[in-house]
Amino acid sequence: MIITDTHTHLYSEAFDEDRDEMISRALAAGITRFFVPAIDSTYSESMYALERKYPTHVFLMMGVHPTHIKDNYKEELDFLTEALETRKFVAIGEIGIDLYWDKSTLKKQQEAFRIQIQLAKRYKLPIVIHCRDAFDEVFEILEEEKSEDLFGIFHCFTGTLEQAQQAISYNMKLGIGGVVTFKNGKIDQFLSQIDLKHIVLETDAPYLAPVPYRGKRNESVYIIEVLEKLSSIYGLSAKNIAEITTKNSKDIFNI
């Protein structure tokens, strides 16, 4: 059984003390495909080092996270553009809009989101979307940019059924992680109405650990809890869920 974690920050400082052991735990549990999103240029060398060490397991994205869209965001976008010209990535991500932490940067976030979507189209890559308190703003830009060559993953999906259907209409898979195990997570109440062909698994490690680890550091091996929750929701074996969601990840990342 091959399990795919489509969103894990393996380079995070939270893993500095036991990164290799953490990855080994996941590999031993059958999680053998790790898709690693970028935050900004300061993490790129750590990401490249992970790829060198685990070349058959670790696959890198490149992008500028919306909470890292600051006054120097154009320099960050220049770094992204140069990186895309010089090496291979599997996606542009994570990108999007976050109005939870700072609403004052909305215009910059919108511009950066548009530019990165256009870069994804140019390089025929998927996008991986971060959206927090910003569904309307994200959908507005997706509507403007929608086309056959716009596709990807709506990472850490926490919206309503209607928002899920709207995301899917833009050729997005839904990234489902630890929130699906939360009592107040709500998405477990309607997820069975979404065809599994639209779902991928993720952890967002070290964030958003699933029950029973909620509040602790998340790690990729905890995706097993998400897998088992989806098995319960869809009435399918964990093996079937793993197979379908891994196929979906291959359809998106082409790897």
Domains recognised in the chain with CATH numbers: 3-253 (3.20.20.140)
Signed CA dihedral, 158, 160, 163, 168: sign only: positive
Each residue's pLDDT tens digit in the chain (255 positions)? 999 999 999 999 999 999 999 999 999 999 999 999 999 999 999 999 999 999 999 999 999 999 999 999 999 999 999 999 999 999 999 999 999 999 999 999 999 999 999 999 999 999 999 999 999 999 999 999 999 999 999 999 999 999 999 999 999 999 999 999 999 889 999 999 999 999 999 999 999 999 999 999 999 999 999 999 999 999 999 999 999 999 999 999 999
* Contact call for residues 221 and 25 (beta carbons, < 8 A): yes
Distance CA 40, CA 4 (A): 24
Q: What is the pLDDT of residue 185?
A: 86
Q: What is the pLDDT of residue 36?
A: 98
